[in-house]
């Protein structure tokens, strides 16, 4: 049976990238690796839409990037606003607690977006009471719920809070803008992310998501503004010390042994995304997302998040069917692997990606398989209507 991977990470890897791993391993302290490093940095800056960010590579999962962002950006005893909307954004709070940082938690119901005005108030209140927020930790796409967060508006809310505080006569000096630190692990390379324009200071990326790579490479993009603050934070880590990575990045290398074969394979994907045009990639992903949601909704399913990300679709499974049987049939009969729910959503949702090399015919096939599975389980679905809705959508969306 053909296996079809639709989880929002790991995701399907392009054939050319896979073949790269068949080559013999070569050493990393070489001119060859320096050229590889430059190629990745150049490409990833275009994907992140940043002219000057330093791109750093760690051997690890996306969580390694998140931990590096936390431990390097806020000193022990500092305060961080953590925007929590699901299982993965909870990790910001957990990491702050590990490193003695006080997490100020703004939590919303899972699947609900944040209110930029509330973000502004958290920051303003901190300034007013003499306990300013040093960093804001948020998420581009909350993978546990499929929720898209409006990073641009969150950034603007931070600016507004600082501007308002600066205009108050009682404030003797301009408050320092909190660093904006974004978990873009599952969505950078699939949906709009403009690092410079949105004033993102640290951006965390995972290779095995929209970049179509293999698990094992974590990426941190660091703004030049962020470095000024990072330099003032006492060192609390050895391997994740980003100052070491910056020093070595200036020589187009890494401070520790990099996963060179994985980086070589990743470069193939980065170049393909850049060649296609990142804004064209965003449009294509949006087209697939619209078709997927229309197809599932026509089949009678409910999309879970109020503000869904184009990187993935999350559906509630009908309460009248057996969840475990649904997931088992989809995988064992049709070869389709979805991700299930986590935490309070365990046994209630299925999650699928539509980025990377997933294409229009993958989407049509997935919707058809879901319809057939629902029919087999006795759910009232008119088989083929969801597929037809998706095809109609794909026939009318803008070209990418």
Kindly list the strands in the beta sheet with 349-353, ordered across the sheet, starting from the edge strand earlier in the chain: 302-303, 312-316, 349-353, 339-340
With 90 as the cut, is the pLDDT of residue 1 above it?
A: no
- Single out the residue of 134, 160, 139, 155 nearest to residue 197, CA to CA: 155
- 265 and 213 in contact (C-beta within 8 Å)? yes
Q: Name the token pair of 262.
A: 């994985």
- 193 and 140 in contact (C-beta within 8 Å)? yes
CATH 3.40.640.10 domain residues, the chain: 15-276
So what CATH class is 15-276? alpha beta
For the chain, what is the mean pLDDT?
A: 96
Average pLDDT for residues 357-384, to the nearest whole number? 97
**Cβ-count burial of 225 within 10 angstroms (0-12 exposed, 13-18 middle, 19+ buried)?**
middle
Residue 159: CB partners within 8 Å, gap ≥ 6?
Answer: 177, 199
Tens digits of residue pLDDT in 80-116: 999 999 999 999 999 999 999 999 999 999 999 999 9
User: Does CATH number 3.40.50.300 belong to domain 278-396?
Assistant: no
Residue 298: CB partners within 8 Å, gap ≥ 6?
Answer: 385, 386, 388, 389, 390
First-residue to last-residue Cα distance in the chain: 32
Confidence of residue 170 (pLDDT cuts 50, 70, 90): low
5 φ, ψ to 5°? -90, 120
With 50 as the cut, is the pLDDT of residue 169 above it?
A: no
C-alpha to C-alpha distance for 375 and 372, rounded to whole angstroms: 5
- Single out the residue of 59, 56, 58 nearest to residue 48, CA to CA: 56
Confidence of residue 399 (pLDDT cuts 50, 70, 90): confident
C-alpha to C-alpha distance for 241 and 153, rounded to whole angstroms: 30
- The pLDDT value recorded for residue 56 is 98
With 70 as the cut, is the pLDDT of residue 172 above it?
A: no
Average pLDDT for residues 316-331, to the nearest whole number? 97
**What are the start-end ranges of the E strands in the chain?**
4-5, 54-59, 79-84, 102-107, 135-139, 141-142, 147-148, 179-183, 202-206, 217-222, 302-303, 312-316, 336-337, 339-340, 349-353
C-alpha to C-alpha distance for 315 and 209, rounded to whole angstroms: 20
Average pLDDT for residues 203-211, to the nearest whole number? 98
**Beta strand 339-340 with 349-353: parallel, antiparallel or unpaired?**
antiparallel
Average pLDDT for residues 262-287, to the nearest whole number? 98
With 70 as the cut, is the pLDDT of residue 171 above it?
A: no
Average pLDDT for residues 117-128, to the nearest whole number? 96
With 60 as the cut, is the pLDDT of residue 288 above it?
A: yes
pTM: 0.96
Positive/negative CA dihedral, 285, 313, 194, 260: negative
Tens digits of residue pLDDT in 19-69: 999 999 999 999 999 999 999 999 999 999 999 999 999 999 999 999 999
């Amino acid at each position: 049976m053909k296996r079809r991977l639709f989880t929002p990470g790991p995701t399907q890897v392009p054939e050319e990238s896979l073949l790269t791993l068949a080559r013999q391993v070569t050493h990393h302290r070489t001119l060859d690796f320096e050229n590889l490093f430059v190629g990745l940095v150049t490409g990833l800056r275009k994907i992140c839409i940043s002219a000057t960010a330093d791109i750093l590579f760690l051997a690890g999962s996306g969580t390694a990037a998140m931990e590096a962002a936390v431990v390097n950006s806020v000193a022990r005893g500092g305060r961080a606003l953590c925007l929590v909307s699901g299982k993965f954004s909870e990790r910001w709070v957990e990491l702050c607690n590990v490193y003695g940082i006080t997490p100020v938690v703004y939590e919303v119901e899972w699947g609900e977006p944040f209110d930029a005005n509330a973000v502004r108030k958290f920051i303003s209140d901190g300034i007013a009471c003499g306990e300013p927020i040093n960093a804001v930790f948020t998420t581009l796409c909350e993978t546990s719920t499929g929720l898209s967060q409006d990073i641009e508006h969150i950034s603007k809310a931070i600016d507004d809070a600082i501007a308002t505080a600066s205009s108050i006569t009682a404030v003797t000096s301009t408050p320092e803008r909190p660093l904006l630190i974004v978990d873009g692990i599952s969505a950078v390379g699939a949906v709009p992310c403009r690092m410079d324009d949105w004033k993102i200071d640290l951006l965390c990326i995972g290779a095995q998501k929209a970049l179509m790579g293999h698990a094992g490479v974590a990426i941190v993009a660091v703004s030049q503004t962020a470095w000024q603050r990072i330099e003032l934070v006492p060192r609390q880590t050895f391997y994740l010390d980003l100052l070491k990575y910056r020093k070595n990045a200036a020589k187009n290398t890494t401070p520790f042994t990099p996963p060179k074969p994985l980086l070589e394979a990743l470069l193939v994907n980065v170049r393909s995304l850049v060649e296609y045009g990142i804004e064209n990639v965003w449009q294509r992903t949006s087209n697939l997302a619209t078709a997927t949601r229309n197809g599932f909704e026509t089949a009678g399913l409910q999309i879970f998040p109020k503000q869904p990300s184009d990187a993935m679709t999350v559906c509630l499974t009908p309460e009248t069917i057996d969840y475990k049987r649904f997931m088992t049939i989809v995988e064992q009969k049709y070869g389709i692997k979805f991700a299930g729910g986590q935490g309070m959503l365990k046994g209630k949702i299925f999650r699928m990606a539509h980025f990377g090399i997933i294409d229009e015919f993958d989407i049509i096939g997935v919707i058809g398989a879901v319809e057939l599975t629902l029919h087999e389980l006795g759910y009232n679905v008119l088989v083929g209507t969801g597929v037809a809705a998706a095809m109609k959508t794909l026939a009318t969306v803008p070209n990418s």
